[in-house]
């Protein structure tokens, strides 16, 4: 969670600085990253991993609630809820601390059922993520409104960028970076050609997003020139300038 917040802070800072001027990798690395990004199109998401801060609902399939004092919860439903702490673990009755972060719910089910064999005759469990406070994707760089959006709202790369107001004129839409946390906890960077993905006849499926994904739109070299023209002509020169051919261009009108 701390990693995600740090990345989000960096992205938001990019809205006020030159952080969107990222250095692209060399040609071979960029090509490989584009191939990996294109391979994501139309593919299902990998299994969701449990993270610190998640609240798990764990129900024994026998219908029995965990043996916890009723005084610790307001309802029977609350007796089935377990929050994953910052260290990635939670405490389960009769077992103690269980490491959950980085596992899928299926993997955690296997771990718990194995440990419960010496306690219960029937150990079958159903586990799901009841609440996920970090259920967001983050969009920054050369977009109009760098932001964080719920993954339930921005389910695809296109929806995320549109939800951030779209790309700016100086954006390098052909090299949009998608940072995704892998099972080892590290972020892997994919590159995608957003311009091609928006073509109606592209024939590609959507790139689905999962929570914690970071979408970063870099600034193009051409965009740097556009930004300089806008700053120098449209913002720093507060007077009308003749463009010839009988036309007069009021530079101040662009600021209205």
User: For residue 59, how many other CB atoms are within 10 A of its CB?
Assistant: 17
Beta carbons of 117 and 103 less than 8 angstroms apart? no
In order along its 256 residues, the chain shows pLDDT tens digits of 545 444 445 444 444 444 445 567 778 888 998 999 999 999 999 888 899 999 999 998 876 555 555 445 555 666 789 999 999 999 999 899 999 998 999 999 999 999 999 988 889 999 999 988 888 999 998 999 999 999 999 999 999 999 999 999 888 889 999 999 887 778 889 999 987 776 655 567 889 999 989 999 988 865 554 444 444 444 444 433 333 333 333 333 444 4
Strands (E), the chain: 55-60, 81-83, 89-92, 96-99, 125-131, 136-141, 147-150, 176-181, 187-192, 214-217, 240-244, 247-250
Residues 78 and 186 in one domain: no
Instruction: Report helix, strand or coil for 56.
Output: strand
- Point out the domain boundary residue: 81, 107, 131: 131
- Point out the domain boundary residue: 104, 131, 158: 131
Residues 111 and 65 in one domain: yes
The pTM of the full predicted model, rounded to 2 decimals, is: 0.69
β-bridge pairing 96-99 and 147-150: unpaired
Residues 154 and 199 in one domain: yes
Residues 61 and 126 in one domain: yes
Residues 123 and 142 in one domain: no
| Residues of the domain holding 15 | 2-45+134-219
Residues 209 and 184 in one domain: yes
* pLDDT computed for residue 169 by the predictor: 86
- Point out the domain boundary residue: 73, 107, 131: 131
Residues 28 and 126 in one domain: no
Q: CATH number, domain at 101?
A: 3.30.1950.10
* pLDDT computed for residue 239 by the predictor: 38
Residues 40 and 138 in one domain: yes
* pLDDT computed for residue 14 by the predictor: 44
- CA 138-144-146 angle, to 5 degrees, is 25
Residue 240 included in any domain: no
Distance CA 161, CA 214 (A): 11
Beta carbons of 175 and 223 less than 8 angstroms apart? no
* pLDDT computed for residue 128 by the predictor: 93
Residues 40 and 88 in one domain: no
* Number of domain units in the chain: 2
């Amino acid at each position: 969670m701390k990693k995600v917040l740090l990345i989000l802070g960096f992205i938001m800072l990019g809205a006020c600085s030159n952080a969107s001027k990222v250095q692209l990798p060399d040609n071979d690395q960029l090509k490989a990253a584009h191939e990996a990004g294109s391979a994501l199109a139309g593919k299902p998401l990998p299994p969701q991993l449990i993270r610190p801060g998640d609240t798990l609902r764990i129900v024994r399939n026998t219908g029995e609630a965990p043996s916890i004092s009723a005084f610790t919860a307001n309802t029977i439903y609350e007796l089935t809820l377990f929050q994953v702490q910052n260290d990635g673990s939670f405490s389960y009755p009769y077992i103690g601390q269980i490491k959950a972060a980085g596992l899928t719910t299926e993997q955690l089910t296997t771990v718990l059922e194995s440990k419960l064999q010496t306690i219960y005759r029937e150990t079958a469990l159903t586990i799901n993520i009841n609440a996920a406070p970090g259920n967001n994707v983050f969009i920054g760089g050369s977009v109009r409104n760098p932001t964080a959006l719920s993954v339930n709202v921005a389910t695809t790369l296109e929806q995320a960028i549109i939800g951030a107001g779209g790309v700016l004129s100086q954006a390098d839409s052909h090299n949009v970076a998608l940072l995704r946390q892998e099972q080892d906890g590290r972020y892997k960077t994919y590159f995608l050609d957003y311009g091609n993905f928006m073509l109606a006849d592209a024939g590609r499926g959507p790139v689905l997003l999962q929570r914690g994904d970071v979408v970063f739109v870099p600034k193009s070299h051409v965009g740097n020139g556009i930004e300089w023209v806008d700053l120098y002509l449209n913002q720093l020169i507060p007077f009308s300038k003749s463009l010839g051919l009988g036309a007069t261009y009021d530079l101040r009108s662009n600021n209205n």
